[in-house]
Structure 1
Amino acid sequence: MKKIFALLVAAGISLSAFAAPENFTSDANHTFARFEYSHFGYSTQQSRFNNTTAKIVLDRAAKTGSVEATIDTKSVDTGSKLFDGHIQGEDFLDTAKFPTITYKSTKFNFDGDKLASIDGNLTIKGVTKPVKLTVTHLQCMDHPMLKKLACGANATATIKRTEFNAGKYAPYVGDDVTLTFAVESIKD
């Protein structure tokens, strides 16, 4: 009888280690894509997109996952209406033809139990390039107000805007653009 009980307990413990993938949807009030670049070497300009959404699947036990993010290019916020218009123009994002930027993961990379990076494809102005996001932070826990599992993360990457047909004034206005993402998501 003790052997049967021990086997059942062991089976229960090993089955609990195989958690199912969890689906999350980004919280619009706490999810933003930001970008920064050198402006003639005088300063580093920092701007953001006010509307970013993401669908995330995370299986921490199996160390796998996926993310699909969409950025509304017309929601660009530089802090200046004049520059918002420039960024939305044909020389940069051409928001009339390309109203979104997308990122679709191809692989989650773990270092032990820690999500270290995400490989994926970034599409800007109809041009798709592989981009690795470095995950600088990931925290999953019960949300204190919503009483549901929530995950938050920060990630970063650097791209060359000329590779996405958005290179006006390069190299004077920096070609290297640092992207940073702050994502908070709630389990579906």
Structure 2
Amino acid sequence: MHLTKVLSAVALAAIASSATAAPETYNVDPTHSFPRFSYNHLGFSTQLSKFNKVTGTVTLDKAAKAGAVDVTIDMKSVETGSTVFNGHIQGEDFLDTAKFPTATFKSTKVNFAGDKPDTIEGNLTIKGVTKPVTLKVTHFVNKEHPMMKRDTIGADATTTIKRTEFNAGKYAPNVGDEVTITVSLEALK
């Protein structure tokens, strides 16, 4: 009888631990998540811009060391620091937001180094063109949000693309073809 209780306790513990190891889904916090991009402008300076509206989900299974990222960027929310240039960069030769109002990133694989995501492989779609990219995770944390008291993840990740490959190459190579994309993201369970 005592052995039966021990086995039952072990079985319950196994069920409880497998329940906590299930994938968790987090919703992107649009007030604390900003995709940014930078490029060389005519050899004079590095231009920095961002997008103000991003939505999506992040799935994380810490026990299985697996995850997924699905993000949509409102391309009309581009912020260059100049109202005139915001309109210019939304034009047909660059982002063409009239025809392509959003860009997306959908992961195909999340690679871990130890207990944390290290790289995220996936497909980036800009202007209707989809290309594989790998985001390098430069910062990752998963803990309770101190004010909201909810499980939260935060991450910074970066990749470099060629804008000519996405039909956005006006003035290349004088205006840099290589664009560094950095995503600072927070997501809440």
TM-score (norm 1): 0.93
Q: Which residue of 1 aligns with 2:145?
A: 143
Q: Which residue of 1 aligns with 2:53?
A: 51
Cα distance per residue 1:105-144 (max 9 Å; x no partner): 0001011212101000000000000010001111111111
Partner of residue 178 from structure 1, selected from 172, 175, 180: 180
Aligned counterparts, 1:14-29, within 5 A = 16=17, 19-29=21-31
Q: Which residue of 1 aligns with 2:124?
A: 122
Q: Which residue of 1 aligns with 2:75?
A: 73
C-alpha separation in 1, matches of 2:13 and 2:24:
20
Amino acid of the structure 2 residue aligned with 1:94:
D
Instruction: Give the C-alpha shift of residue 5 in structure 1.
Output: 2.7
Cα distance per residue 1:79-120 (max 9 Å; x no partner): 011111111000000000000000000001011212101000
Q: Which residue of 2 aligns with 1:8?
A: 9
Q: Which residue of 2 aligns with 1:156?
A: 158
C-alpha separation in 2, matches of 1:171 and 1:7:
68
- Structure 1: which 4+ aligned runs deviate by more than 4 Å? none
Number of aligned residue pairs: 187
Q: Which residue of 2 aligns with 1:102?
A: 104
Amino acid of the structure 2 residue aligned with 1:5:
V
Partner secondary structure for residue 5 of structure 1? helix
Amino acid of the structure 1 residue aligned with 2:64:
A
Structure 2 unmatched ranges of 5 or more = none
Instruction: Give the C-alpha shift of residue 7 in structure 1.
Output: 7.6
Partner secondary structure for residue 109 of structure 2? strand
Q: Which residue of 1 aligns with 2:44?
A: 42
Structure 1 unmatched ranges of 5 or more = none
Amino acid of the structure 1 residue aligned with 2:62:
R
Instruction: Give the C-alpha shift of residue 13 in structure 1.
Output: 5.5
C-alpha separation in 2, matches of 1:178 and 1:7:
54
Aligned alpha-carbon RMSD (Å): 1.7
C-alpha separation in 1, matches of 2:123 and 2:16:
34
Cα distance per residue 1:144-188 (max 9 Å; x no partner): 11111011111000000000000000000000000000110110x
Q: Which residue of 2 aligns with 1:113?
A: 115
C-alpha separation in 1, matches of 2:12 and 2:31:
42
C-alpha separation in 2, matches of 1:173 and 1:118:
28
Q: Which residue of 2 aligns with 1:61?
A: 63
TM-score (norm 2): 0.93
